[in-house]
Structure 1
């Protein structure tokens, strides 16, 4: 199975299961001269039943700073759960176009954590 260079896996730790149906946007930082840095959308996706997106982004990436924004308000609203964070944004650096970047998120209505996965 061919996997994109950026993937994610979201687990809803409050209920102990994958966060299915969570929308995610991948962006890259652009120089945006003369206005300064700005973010450009690269791809979008929605987590599957296992809380994963395995096809997020293009087949190749240039080095730079990227970010994933997770639409947590929509996810929790759909479940009737009041949550503190309307979105979670995780910025990270791509230092080699040949590497795979897996960005997992552990999510609850009032907290989140992330790490570089494999």
Structure 2
């Protein structure tokens, strides 16, 4: 995952999963074929990858990852610990204002 960073693109609010935003662009990780550190119940600050869908999602509140076909298992690959409140507020704005640019990097 770290080799893929920085990863940048645009975030949109999740339609089916509750309090989460996802990258509009696919996060292509062809070497990732199975779930690792997986959950159906991400917590605020979880950075997740959806195996089989090349989807990167950030969760900022109550969430239950789902698609039209049903529940989705997420692989948690990182956590935002610092300044979680500011992160949550920025994600909430995505629900109201739409598409937002982002850069994910490891400093």
TM (normalized to structure 2)?
Answer: 0.30
Greater share of strand residues, 1 or 2? 1
Greater share of helix residues, 1 or 2? 2
Q: RCO greater where, 1 or 2, for CA within 8 Å and sep 6 or more?
A: 2
Greater gyration radius = 1
